[in-house]
């Protein structure tokens, strides 16, 4: 789309040119969806307008922004000035033909401060950009974040009992939905408390204090673990502040651990204005950061969580060609439409297995005739899979999984750096990343792969992944979410 004026700033972030689109329309997405908290959530959700899915609103001004991928490649796009983070994610999902599993996320990355945060789906991207200085290296990143709303599904995993205090009327006993309602309901007073390391103002040293997080803000106690008002000192409130994670807490900020986070005012961009904090482990940091997000946005976060499911019900964004796809049977003299869903699924599975057998046969024909399946076919089958990351180091795998969400079942496969003939499965469980070696097993000339010293064997890595997606086996949990990279 051409504009009269179009330029990109020297720091590679954003430049703007305003103009009006000639045509557009608005679409209100209000499809019904089962609401587990009817007393908290209204029956309708405000509409989202995406330039790739629905026409822009009539007369909307536009602006050029630049979005980066994990490999630091970037793409400049022209978008309406009222576009939200979710709209931009949907734009790149469509442009890159990705599967929209609602985990794609826009991140605000402030390199000069060494901090990063998730931009909430409802946030105005232009408001975020307006807080950036022209001489700073600030970027928007587009990548997956499986943990973005996982606390709605498994809140007890995010809020340990010893860190949460609830109102007396709950008697301290509640299920997961009641716990979330306590955070979303403004009339209740949940509290997060525990020890954190804090960087002293104007000094390089860090000191441990007892912190308390309430709806009114973040406090620390100047006398042990006392919560008496005279002992609590105010640190920050969140109406005009955001919570960020520290990218290299030890290296950049001299923190005692790498589980750092900070509170930053939207009006200040100096390192001296950051409230730097550090937890002793990942679960503690996740609890504090998640609670701060809930206290800041409340019901809006839950609306963000359920909105994609409401859109799926309405589904105004599916194309005519997608809606007209049907399963066909060409095995007889006449073709027929398969109307039975179970039969259609069975045919699809059989087609996939048939394609795999044919692919293996074609590839093995280039090798030894006596070998039923050559190593070449094994390699060819998994190289194109989105969960396979080839020559990724252990540290890079750890970083990629951390970026895409430390929840149970996030995984990737990669080549082993120590043994070129083997592969490694990197898997997240209980917010920790574990690595499992996949060994080749030779059985009378046939090559198999195994995670358990040959007790369970697979002819290729695809079969291995599919098995452990359905069965835990020797792993601590099933494979659930694969780490994916795309090129913008």
Percent of the chain residues topping a pLDDT of 90: 52
User: What's domain 381-482's superfamily in CATH?
Assistant: SH2 domain (3.30.505.10)
- Token digits for 432? 């920790």
CATH of domain 62-144: 3.10.20.90
Q: DSSP code of 259?
A: -
The burial of 417, by beta-carbon neighbours within 10 Å (0-12 exposed, 13-18 middle, 19 or more buried), is given as: middle
Helix (H) or strand (E) holding 250: helix 249-253
Residue with tokens 């720091």: 11
Helix (H) or strand (E) holding 351: helix 341-364
Parallel, antiparallel or unpaired: strands 328-329 and 336-337: antiparallel
Distance CA 418, CA 368 (A): 28
3-state SS, residue 288 = helix
Helix (H) or strand (E) holding 143: strand 138-144
Confidence of residue 270 (pLDDT cuts 50, 70, 90): confident
The burial of 353, by beta-carbon neighbours within 10 Å (0-12 exposed, 13-18 middle, 19 or more buried), is given as: exposed
Could you read off the pLDDT of 139-186 as tens digits, one per residue? 999 999 999 999 999 998 899 999 998 765 445 556 667 888 888 887
- Token digits for 83? 């576009």
Distance CA 109, CA 268 (A): 15
Q: Would the pLDDT of 305 be above 70?
A: yes
Q: What is the pLDDT of residue 223?
A: 94
- Token digits for 278? 């550090």
CA dihedral 488, 73, 487, 13 (to 10 degrees): -20
Work out the mean pLDDT of the chain and round it to a whole number.
80
Could you read off the pLDDT of 25-66 as tens digits, one per residue? 334 333 444 555 554 444 443 344 344 444 444 456 899 999
Q: Would the pLDDT of 331 be above 90?
A: no
Helices (H) and strands (E) in the chain, counts: 13, 21
Distance CA 81, CA 57 (A): 11
Percent of the chain residues topping a pLDDT of 70: 72
Distance CA 238, CA 258 (A): 23
Domain locations along the chain: 62-144, 149-167+176-309, 381-482
Class at the top of the CATH hierarchy for domain 149-167+176-309: mainly beta
CA R_g for the chain:
26
Q: Residues with Cβ < 8 Å from 468, sequence gap 6 or more?
A: 425, 451, 475, 478, 479
Residue with tokens 């703007």: 16
3-state SS, residue 339 = coil
In this structure, of 7-21, 113-127, 197-211, 365-379, the range with the lowest mean pLDDT score is 7-21
449-472 mean pLDDT = 93
Of the candidates 215, 263, 222, the one whose C-alpha atom is nearest the C-alpha of residue 241 is 263
């Amino acid at each position: 789309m051409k504009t009269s004026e179009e330029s990109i700033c020297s720091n590679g972030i954003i430049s703007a040119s305003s103009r009006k689109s000639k045509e557009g329309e608005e679409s209100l997405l209000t499809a019904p969806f089962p609401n587990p908290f009817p007393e908290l959530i209204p029956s309708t959700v405000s509409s989202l307008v995406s330039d790739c899915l629905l026409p822009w609103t009539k007369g909307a001004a536009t602006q050029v922004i630049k979005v980066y991928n994990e490999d630091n490649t970037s793409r400049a796009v022209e978008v309406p000035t009222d576009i939200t983070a979710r709209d931009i994610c949907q734009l790149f999902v469509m442009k890159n033909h990705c599967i929209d599993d609602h985990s794609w996320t826009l991140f605000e990355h402030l390199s000069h401060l060494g901090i990063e945060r998730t931009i909430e789906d409802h946030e105005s991207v232009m408001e975020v950009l307006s807080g950036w200085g022209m001489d700073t290296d600030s970027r928007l990143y587009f990548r997956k974040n499986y943990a973005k709303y996982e606390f709605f599904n498994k809140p007890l995993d995010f809020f340990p009992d010893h860190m949460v205090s609830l109102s007396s009327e709950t008697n301290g006993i509640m299920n997961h939905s009641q716990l979330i309602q306590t955070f979303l309901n403004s009339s209740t007073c949940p509290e997060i408390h525990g020890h954190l390391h804090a960087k002293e103002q104007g000094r390089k040293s860090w000191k441990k204090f007892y912190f308390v997080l309430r709806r009114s803000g973040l406090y620390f106690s100047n006398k042990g673990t006392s919560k008496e008002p005279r002992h609590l000192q105010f640190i920050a409130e969140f109406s005009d502040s955001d919570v960020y994670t520290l990218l290299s807490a030890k290296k950049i900020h001299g923190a005692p651990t790498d589980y750092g986070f900070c509170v930053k005012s939207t009006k200040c961009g100096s390192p001296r204005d950051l409230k730097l904090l550090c937890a002793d482990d990942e679960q503690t940091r996740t609890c504090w950061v998640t609670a701060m997000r809930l206290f800041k946005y409340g019901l809006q976060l839950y609306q963000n969580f359920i909105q994609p499911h409401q859109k799926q019900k309405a589904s105004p964004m599916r194309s005519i060609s997608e809606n007209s796809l049907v399963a066909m049977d060409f095995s007889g003299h006449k073709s027929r439409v398969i109307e039975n869903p179970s039969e259609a699924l069975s045919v699809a599975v059989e087609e996939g297995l048939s394609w795999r057998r044919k692919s293996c046969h074609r590839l093995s024909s280039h090798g030894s005739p006596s070998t039923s399946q050559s190593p070449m076919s094994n390699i060819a089958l998994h190289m194109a899979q989105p969960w396979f990351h080839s020559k990724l180091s252990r540290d890079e795998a750890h970083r990629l999984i951390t970026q895409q969400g430390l929840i149970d079942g996030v995984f990737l496969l990669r080549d082993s750096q120590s043994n070129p003939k083997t592969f490694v499965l990197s898997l997240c469980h209980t917010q920790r990343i574990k690595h499992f070696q996949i060994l080749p097993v030779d059985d009378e000339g046939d090559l198999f792969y195994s995670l358990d010293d040959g007790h369970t064997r697979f002819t290729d890595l695809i079969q291995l992944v599919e098995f452990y997606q359905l069965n835990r086996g020797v792993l601590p949990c099933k494979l659930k979410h694969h780490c994916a990279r795309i090129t913008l």
